[in-house]
Amino acid sequence: MTNSNDLAYIDENLRIIRERCAEAKAKYRSPDDNIRIMAVTKTVAPEAINRAVSLGIDLLGENRVQEYLSKAEQYDKSAEVQFIGHLQTNKVKYIINSVSMIQSVDSLKLGQEISRLAVKNGRVMDILCEVNIGGENSKSGVAPAELDQLIEELRELDGIRIRGLMTIPPPSGSDIFLGRMKELYDSVSSRYEGMDTLSMGMTHDYAEAIRYGSTLVRIGTGLFGARDYSK
């Protein structure tokens, strides 16, 4: 059991994050804009996650299905959970009833499986289309030029609702890609009803992402500290 004093660093980290988010919002956005802070939980112990929830974090982001399943029962149930990592079609069944959104949909095949299982379970799953805005071979996501086709195909499926876009821009030249992502989001959200979410911005660029229209920033290291991703 972790001593609560050992987790006090989370309090200070969250204070700084909230302050920076507020500054960016005041400088670049409307006072009415709602910008959510997601705590990314990859390799983080449940005690630390629950500490963040106790401080007002109400949204958790999961990257790995197996890790999530091993920790989910220990989470404070007052926080909403969304899936943000690369998702294989054969793993959808494990999370279909326990997450509120899947942010990483980048193919019709994945969308079809989410739709099938959502209908089977009597629900509608909110999704985001993941865009590979930097064209990086190492990252998942649909190419910007293919986004409209994917949206059109996904819109034909029962059981899913497209709420917007998600991206992980290249760390180099982040402002350029964040700007391109905003243009892309503005374009598709003006043409397709129901889009209200632009998920972009992580520990290193969340203030800049807010400048470029992000409605949801995903912060792990900045909140919980450096972690061992080899686990």
Mean pLDDT score of the chain, rounded to an integer?
95
Give the distance, in angstroms, between the CA of residue 98 and the centroid of all CA atoms in the same chain: 15
Model pLDDT, residue 28: 97
3-state secondary structure of 169: coil
Confidence of residue 174 (pLDDT cuts 50, 70, 90): confident
Single-letter amino acid, residue 220: G
How much of the chain exceeds pLDDT 70, in percent?
96
- pTM exceeds cut of 0.75: yes
Tell me the domains of the chain and their CATH numbers.
Answer: 4-214 (3.20.20.10)
Query: Which residues partner with 102 through β-bridges?
Result: 83, 127
CA 102/CA 117 separation, integer angstroms: 13
Average pLDDT over residues 179-206: 96
- 201 φ/ψ sector (left φ>0, alpha ψ -120 to 50, else beta): left
Single-letter amino acid, residue 130: E
Average pLDDT over residues 53-78: 97
Average pLDDT over residues 141-148: 97
Confidence of residue 143 (pLDDT cuts 50, 70, 90): very high
Query: Which residues partner with 167 through β-bridges?
Result: 131
Model pLDDT, residue 2: 53
Number of H helices, E strands in the chain: 9, 8
Tokens of 117: 């299982």
Which residue in 23, 25, 17, 103 sits closest to 55, CA to CA? 17
Model pLDDT, residue 150: 98
pLDDT at 228 > cutoff 80: no
pLDDT at 159 > cutoff 80: yes
Which residue in 205, 203, 204, 198 sits closest to 181, CA to CA? 198
Residue 142 is classified by DSSP as: B
Q: What is the pLDDT of residues 4-48, one digit of tens each?
A: 678 999 999 999 999 999 999 999 999 999 999 999 999 999 999
User: 36-40 and 59-62: which strand pairing?
Assistant: parallel
CA 43/CA 63 separation, integer angstroms: 9
Lowest-pLDDT choice from 36-45, 108-117, 135-144, 153-162: 135-144
